[in-house]
Structure 1
Amino acid sequence: MTTAIKPSPRTQRKGTDAQIPNGITFVGTEFRSTNLERDVRVQDLHSPYVGVRALDVLDRVGNALGDLKRTRAWSFTGPYGSGKSTLSNLIDALLGHDAERRTTAYEAVAATNAALAQEIAENRETLAADGFLGAVTTARREPLAATVHRALQTAVERKWSKRVPNDVSTAMTVCAETDVPTTDSLLNAVTTLCGKAPLLLIIDEFGKTLEYLVSSGESSRAESDVFLLQLLAEKGAGAKGLPLFMFTLQHLAFSDYASRSSSVQTQEWAKIQGRFEDVTFGPNLGDAVYLLQRKLAHAAVSEQGRKLVEAQAKAAHGIWRQQSLHSVVDISAESFANLYPLHPLTAVAAPLMAAQIGQNDRSLSGFLVNDEPYTVRRTLDTCAVEVPERASTIRIPQLYDFFFSAGRTTILASSKASRWLEINARLEEAHGLPEADQELLKAIGVLNLIDADGLLRATPAMIQFALNDPTDAIDAKRFDQLKKRLDKLVEDGLVVHRSYSDEYRIWQGTDVDIDARVREIATQLQPDDVVRYFNKHLGTNVLPNAVAAGAHSQLTGMQRHFVTAVSHQTEKLRGPRVVQDAADGMLVFHFGDLKSTPRVDSPLPVVVGVTKNPQAVLDVGNTLVALQDLMSDEELDHVARREINERAGEFSQRITAMLAEAFRPGSDESSWYLWKSGEDTDGEPAQQLKARSYAGLVSEACNVVYDQTPHVRNEMVGRHQLTSNAARTRREVLTSMIEKTGLPLLGWPQDKFPAERALYDGVVEHLGLHRAAGEFSGGQNSEGSFHTHGMSRPSAAKNKSVMPVWEALEEALSEATEPTNIVEIYERLMAPPYGVKAGVVPILVVAGLVLHGNDVALFEEGNYCPRLTAAIVERLNVPYPERFTVKAAPVDRAQRRLVLDELVKSLGVDIPRSRTNRNPALLAVTRGMLERVMVLDQYSRKTRGLSDDTLVVRKVLSEATDPDRLVFEELPKALGFEKITPSTRKDSEAAEAYVVRLTNALNELTDASANLRRYVVETLAQEFRLPASSTGELRAGLAERMRGFADASLEVSLHGFVTRVLNEMLPDDDWLGTVVVQLVNQALGDWTDRDMDAFPRVVRDRARALDRVSHLYNVVEEEPADETPAAPNKRAKPKQRQIDTHLLTLTTPKGTEERTLIHVPKKSRNAADELVVSVIRQAEEALGPDGARILLAALAEHLSGQDSAASERKEHL
């Protein structure tokens, strides 16, 4: 259903009221629209008009033709009817291979700018004598790859209508093999075509492609992703790029089409559009006025009529200059004559109103040639006379009637629709007014719509000009009458007069005294309130919230920008931080002098601008803030609220203009100064800056402060915050730097160019961090290696710009004598004068860690990282890797090298040769020592029964976290030596002494468990009186003793002991362990020193208990069973054991008895008998007849004393 605006009563001007000379005709009946796919195949260009915007674009194209280092990708953005397609058709004709179209286009451009036309022709002739290939298409709701493929097909058909070259045919055939061509096939086709001639790729209605991508779910497939456009733009970039010139035509910016997508996707699309030079096509008033001239012909006008028209034109030109309207659009007297019968203000207002409702050329065409009320055609039909007395003009009230006539509903789509409707409604209410007053209101309404607080605003002089023909506009009497009528309309509440701008506006009336309320609020405000308002609204007015250093970024590849702030008497501003914030500095608009500049809490550079008359800006700002505060009053009626809102808008525009002039770089009103650090702004500035724009100021500041930044050739990582795709790409490259460093191009294919390859070429290889074997500069040693490439230290010959920051990195790593957070390294590289962006820093740091693997240790949350792995790199690949620390661990010099070599020999360790191992020699020694500790049992870890050296070494090793500190500081200190620093001189004697003591301590610690086993064996042998020197001999002796108890009914503990002693299934070491567990209920590995001290007593008690009961049993043993085949089932038979057991009881002088069980082996009995005879004989000879008995008593007393002494000694161990 169509909504119509009900028109107010209109009165068509009578023929007697208006006279227009006869003979004025129209050239053409409509403004023709361009269809690129159709029109590029047509010879006729339909006489295109080359206006201001077209000349600007053609100038850029001409410069790019002459200098291939310039941008060759453009994005045309603008509404329907703004001339994007027409200009694209013109460019295609200018550069194409069709000579006739080229000539026509050349003449069209030369008619406006002959020099530019000649420049384009000469540059095109030099680049492509036969012309460009024109790949032109109109996008549809389809994958981008399909659209590009169709454009390439158009280029082939237009150039080779009969015989297509074989390579071109093959490339196009590959593209057509699938419904949607692959990215590789399209890039190959583009490369092939560019090999034949430069390629001009134009995609009209590109917004449809972007809409398709949004509606299809943001597919990440290459054939349906706008990323393909970025690849094409990159291939056609730079002097060495393909001769590819690209244009996309759409109504909105890329990011606006992605507004319904995620913020990340919006940023991705905005970044891709950044590859293109954006050209905004908005309505150009000068071009629109010229088009109106071309539609009106005056050849048939009589001589008398011409004189009347020229008189009007001369008067119009005089008023135009007097009112300074030439700054709006400069129109000559001749042009005013060509515009007749349009009033000068009608000629200007018509395009402006048409632009507001989005109709542009269509509305202008209707106003001129349609056969309906209020059009120029209808006026000519009714007012033209053969012999005119005067030359009347079509004035603004008639233009109002045309746009607001019944059925003209397009204003409902206007961005200012509410204001249009309000003005129309107010005039409808005034239908009882005289016709003159109604025309007065219409004139005010139109001026209100086309301008606000500008040169075309509804001042009395402008209203006078609008309501009268130019020859009558300077009538003083009419002006006095106008003033009275205006006062009456103000009194009636139909219009309001804004005294501060001398402007009248259509008005509904209110009881609120707005002026008084604003004055009341303004008197309570302070300058700081205005400054806070400016800070809050940075980016919404002329003061930007951030300024990019375009020229500096283009030169270095580091995308830099400064954030902005406004200050007055502020003592301190919070500036950006080095690592955490993306900004590289701050731009301050200061409403004061240099003596009152604020201190900025930031080590980054600060640029401060001051202006000559800050108070004038603050005063206007004061009124603006007062209006904004008044808007919050809930008691305002809607009329007052609208008026206040409009006034605020006007003051906002005024303050915008004032700020632009007050701080405009290069003007006499402003001065700009640079401090290299925000913390130094209380001192003198480093220098004064001169530039023509804010971007120029920031670029100049960056050139001064970041003069040692490395230059990279990849915008994907030369920024602070990476996109998800860029972060993934960087992660892959970092991983390849440690896993594929020995391969050319880090393993990326030579004939393909994925994003990873682009990053490698633009950063890693460009900075000289990866080279072929034989080209290394302080990098990895490739001697004896099968690898052809490796990481390398940069060289000035390869890239001079990287040397300062690389030297700073190496200095930071070498100075990290204590664990240093890697964020501190980041901060050093990202701060001035290097300013490496966060996207590039990890690449430099990882390269540094790889190249300094022998002398820099890496820790993650305090834990040493022995290898630089992909997982570690991924955790490093974050904006703020505070969990990592580094420490200089140089081992290749002086005493450290000597000690390390000696330890390698002494400990017998092997040094691994993997490229990813960090500090391999130091790590091998550390691992060799720590492995000894890691395998220790509980006893060895806790016993105090070790030497002092061993105890302190064990303690240090158990607490070690840093290999460098362990080997060269903590262990030497524990053993009484001085710590070994990188500067310690060689001292072979000290090195040998340290190594010998450390090795001995480690050996003692390692042998602690074995020594404990030997102690257990000796104790068992001694208490059971066995001549045992090994576990096996002890086992045999105990088994021999205990075999007679095998079937005895013993107490539980004795029976368990006997059973374990007689166990023949276990090996000796395990057998001893079971015996020990049975005795002390504790495994050897879990012993403490207390267990060791108590062991002799436990064994002695067990031995005595067995002695006390052994005489009760007849000890026998079985003969082994006959294992010969003849008697397989013959059972073993008992035989007498080859041992005699005797119980010896001794009574001491104190009356106590000591009983001792004596085991006498049969094989020793004969020797004992012979020895007894000899000893008895000697005793009788020496002592008399009782000599044998005396000897027996002495021998018993002596043996008893030895047993007591041995027991006492063991109990005190």
Structure 2
Amino acid sequence: MLMDKVKITQQYQRSVRIDTDLGRLDSLDGYICNKSAQNVFNNLCTQIINSEQRAFTLTGPYGSGKSSLAITLLSMLHPNEKIRNKAYTRIDKSIFPLFKNAFPITNGWNILPITGKRANVVQEINNSLDKKTKPNKKKEIKPTGADLIERLKVLSNSPSYDGLIIVIDEMGKFLEYSAQEENDIHFYQDLAEAASRSHGKLIVIGILHQAFRQYSSKLGNEIQNEWAKVQGRYADIPLISSSDETIELLSKAISISEDLKNDVNVNVAQIVADEVRKRRPSISAQLVESLIKCWPLHPTMATILGPASRRHFGQNERSIFGFLCSPEPHAFYDFLKSTKDSEDQTYTPEHYWNFLRTNLEPAILSSPDGHRWAQSVEAVERVEAGSDKLKVSLIKNIAILDFFRNSTGLPASNEVIKSIYQSNISNDLETLLNELKKSSVIVYRKHLESWAVFEGSDFDIDEEIKNELNNIFSLDYELLSKAAGIRPVVAKKTLLPNRLITLDGYISLFIRCIQREAKKFIPYYL
């Protein structure tokens, strides 16, 4: 089976916890500081150098590498020099000058990593401090927010460290608890203000999956406005990996045995890369190489997984790499278990359709994509009623490609569809597509040069426009001038010498202009 020849790199098989993984050298293994991560480092350091801002939020979708980036940042500030040096090897050297200016290091920083939960944030931060400073201390009366901030100020000024940095991963869980219990959230504001007045000795970073204020969306307008004020105390830094960065990470997560490398179809990767580049010229020059290394993920799927994880229904803790190892039906791991290594087969959009339909359909239907998904399901079910397996496969592939087209830049073009089936049905492909079109299941979008799931009535606007144009032999210029209702502007040089231009003159001039332009007119329709 393929699972004996294809492995998912161990590093990507587990989620990262900053409170337990920090301080372990192996937690830094394999970390890739891509362009998006570099931008985060540069943004953070620039604000620290040029302003008094010391409270930040790092916002990005699940699986975008926020926790791994946080561990790398904290390791670069760690009191243990060995850990610091290991972390330095994982980032781009161009970051060093800015980083050392923002974070002068002599003894290392006092680090307080916290993983959020549905609980009181003041109590949890205080508990983490107790474990760090007084591990055998008995629990006392719950501290107030003011008490905790005073305690943090004292620690930040300790001569044993260069400062105190607090990173709250899954900060959204604390915010959800505050919203649910309608707790006073001004502690977050007081904490941010204390950091800004600390002369660089106290830094606070919260890690979120969505904007701060969105956690208060179910509360009243007055409370939402209060949340917005608190959010304003934190400088938000987005972390959203580009599609080619995600593909590069996928290529490093999947490894195959040497005897399978000859099965990889380089031409297919080239076709997909060319189609993406037509619409996204700035895409990485190494895209083809990365797509090849993602085998047995079909190149189309390698481009889809990143954008799919950022959709509303994809915001779950499994992330992209969780999907690769998921035991759920029709997931990638299930595909590896059920596919023989002798079969010339890859994980295609058809497989992903089955995965989404089986495991995530309720979440999709309740998301902003619900209507489009329902239309796709209806189209697939209509084809399934005909019991033609090739047509069912074809409509599923088209449905997924069309569903994610706007975010991937990859259309369901004839070339892309051929790349999925390679030589299996290439001769019959045009016939099958036309049959699906006649059945009003799919439609060809000429302006996009791609197929899409049919969304509306049986009215074929392309065909009707073509028929109407064939019936037009000449233009009625008089009717056109009346319909336009435009009186042309005459230059003063013409107007002044002649003193007067009649209305008939306007119409005559307008018609002559139309006749001249009409001869050059080439109709274009969508």
Per the shorter chain, which TM-score range? 0.7 to 0.9
Task: Give the Cα–Cα distance (whole angstroms) in 2 for the partners of residues 253 and 371 of structure 1.
Answer: 30
Report the residue type matching 2:14 in the other structure. Answer: R
Q: Is structure 2 residue 78 aligned with structure 1 residue 96?
A: yes
3-state SS of paired residue (1:108): coil
- 8 A contact 1:207–1:250 mirrored in 2: yes
Alignment of 1:809-820 (within 5 A): none
Instruction: Give 1 or 2 for the bigger CA radius of gyration.
Output: 1
The aligned residue for residue 354 of structure 2 is: 401
Task: Give the Cα–Cα distance (whole angstroms) in 2 for the partners of residues 507 and 265 of structure 1.
Answer: 44
Shift of 1:269: 1.6
Task: Give the Cα–Cα distance (whole angstroms) in 2 for the partners of residues 371 and 261 of structure 1.
Answer: 36
| Candidates 38, 45, 61, aligned match of 1:55 | 38
Q: Is structure 2 residue 447 aligned with structure 1 residue 447?
A: no
- 8 A contact 2:440–2:458 mirrored in 1: no
| Candidates 506, 519, 522, aligned match of 2:453 | 506
CA gap of 1:201–1:241, structure 2 versus 1, over 3 A, is same
Shift of 1:346: 1.6
The aligned residue for residue 382 of structure 1 is: 339
Shift of 1:54: 2.4
Shift of 1:335: 1.8
The aligned residue for residue 309 of structure 1 is: 264
Shift of 1:147: 3.6
Q: Deviations over 1:544-573 (max 9, x none)?
A: xxxxxxxxxxxxxxxxxxxxxxxxxxxxxx
Shift of 1:399: 2.8
Q: Is structure 2 residue 439 aligned with structure 1 residue 492?
A: yes
Identity of aligned residues (%): 21
Report the residue type matching 1:241 in the other structure. Answer: H
Shift of 1:263: 2.0
The aligned residue for residue 236 of structure 1 is: 195
Aligned residues: 462
Q: Is structure 2 residue 99 aligned with structure 1 residue 146?
A: no
CA gap of 1:330–1:22, structure 2 versus 1, over 3 A, is farther
- 8 A contact 1:354–1:364 mirrored in 2: no
Q: TM-score, normalised by structure 1?
A: 0.34
Alignment of 1:795-944 (within 5 A): none
Task: Give the Cα–Cα distance (whole angstroms) in 1 for the partners of residues 403 and 293 of structure 2.
Answer: 26
Report the residue type matching 1:53 in the other structure. Answer: S
Report the residue type matching 2:228 in the other structure. Answer: A
The aligned residue for residue 304 of structure 2 is: 349
CA gap of 1:242–1:347, structure 2 versus 1, over 3 A, is closer
Q: Is structure 2 residue 293 aligned with structure 1 residue 338?
A: yes
Shift of 1:275: 1.7
The aligned residue for residue 419 of structure 1 is: 372
3-state SS of paired residue (1:55): helix
| 5+ long unaligned stretches in structure 2 | 469-479, 485-525
Alignment of 1:1096-1107 (within 5 A): none
Shift of 1:503: 3.7
- 8 A contact 1:37–1:136 mirrored in 2: yes
- 8 A contact 1:26–1:295 mirrored in 2: yes
Report the residue type matching 1:349 in the other structure. Answer: I
- 8 A contact 1:133–1:155 mirrored in 2: no
Task: Give the Cα–Cα distance (whole angstroms) in 2 for the partners of residues 406 and 188 of structure 1.
Answer: 48
Shift of 1:129: 1.0
- 8 A contact 1:137–1:204 mirrored in 2: yes
Q: Is structure 2 residue 226 aligned with structure 1 residue 226?
A: no
Alignment of 1:583-594 (within 5 A): none
Q: Deviations over 1:834-854 (max 9, x none)?
A: xxxxxxxxxxxxxxxxxxxxx
The aligned residue for residue 180 of structure 1 is: 143
Task: Give the Cα–Cα distance (whole angstroms) in 1 for the partners of residues 461 and 268 of structure 2.
Answer: 42
Shift of 1:296: 1.8
CA gap of 1:329–1:426, structure 2 versus 1, over 3 A, is farther
Q: Is structure 2 residue 391 aligned with structure 1 residue 437?
A: yes
Q: TM-score, normalised by structure 2?
A: 0.74
Task: Give the Cα–Cα distance (whole angstroms) in 2 for the partners of residues 232 and 21 of structure 1.
Answer: 49
Report the residue type matching 1:104 in the other structure. Answer: K
Higher relative contact order (CA 8 A, sep 6+): 2
3-state SS of paired residue (1:96): coil
The aligned residue for residue 488 of structure 2 is: none
CA gap of 1:334–1:192, structure 2 versus 1, over 3 A, is same
3-state SS of paired residue (1:260): coil
CA gap of 1:330–1:447, structure 2 versus 1, over 3 A, is farther
- 8 A contact 2:116–2:171 mirrored in 1: yes
Task: Give the Cα–Cα distance (whole angstroms) in 2 for the partners of residues 312 and 380 of structure 1.
Answer: 26
Task: Give the Cα–Cα distance (whole angstroms) in 1 for the partners of residues 208 and 105 of structure 2.
Answer: 28
Shift of 1:155: 5.3
- 8 A contact 1:211–1:257 mirrored in 2: yes
- 8 A contact 1:343–1:394 mirrored in 2: yes
CA gap of 1:93–1:344, structure 2 versus 1, over 3 A, is same
3-state SS of paired residue (1:245): strand
Shift of 1:193: 1.7
- 8 A contact 2:195–2:203 mirrored in 1: yes
- 8 A contact 1:40–1:93 mirrored in 2: yes
| Candidates 99, 122, 140, aligned match of 2:100 | 122
Task: Give the Cα–Cα distance (whole angstroms) in 1 for the partners of residues 191 and 305 of structure 2.
Answer: 42
Task: Give the Cα–Cα distance (whole angstroms) in 2 for the partners of residues 261 and 322 of structure 1.
Answer: 44
CA gap of 1:70–1:295, structure 2 versus 1, over 3 A, is same
In terms of fraction of residues, the more helix-rich structure is: 2
| Candidates 83, 86, 99, aligned match of 2:68 | 86
CA gap of 1:211–1:306, structure 2 versus 1, over 3 A, is closer
The aligned residue for residue 428 of structure 1 is: 381
CA gap of 1:363–1:311, structure 2 versus 1, over 3 A, is closer
CA gap of 1:210–1:306, structure 2 versus 1, over 3 A, is closer
CA gap of 1:333–1:457, structure 2 versus 1, over 3 A, is closer
Report the residue type matching 2:94 in the other structure. Answer: A
- 8 A contact 2:59–2:239 mirrored in 1: yes
Shift of 1:131: 0.8
Shift of 1:248: 1.3
The aligned residue for residue 190 of structure 1 is: 152
Shift of 1:459: 3.2
- 8 A contact 1:312–1:337 mirrored in 2: no
Shift of 1:57: 1.6
Task: Give the Cα–Cα distance (whole angstroms) in 2 for the partners of residues 122 and 43 of structure 1.
Answer: 21
Shift of 1:136: 2.2
CA gap of 1:34–1:373, structure 2 versus 1, over 3 A, is closer
| 5+ long unaligned stretches in structure 1 | 1-14, 163-171, 219-224, 528-650, 652-1213
CA gap of 1:433–1:331, structure 2 versus 1, over 3 A, is farther
3-state SS of paired residue (2:10): coil
The aligned residue for residue 474 of structure 2 is: none
The aligned residue for residue 211 of structure 1 is: 176
Report the residue type matching 1:375 in the other structure. Answer: F
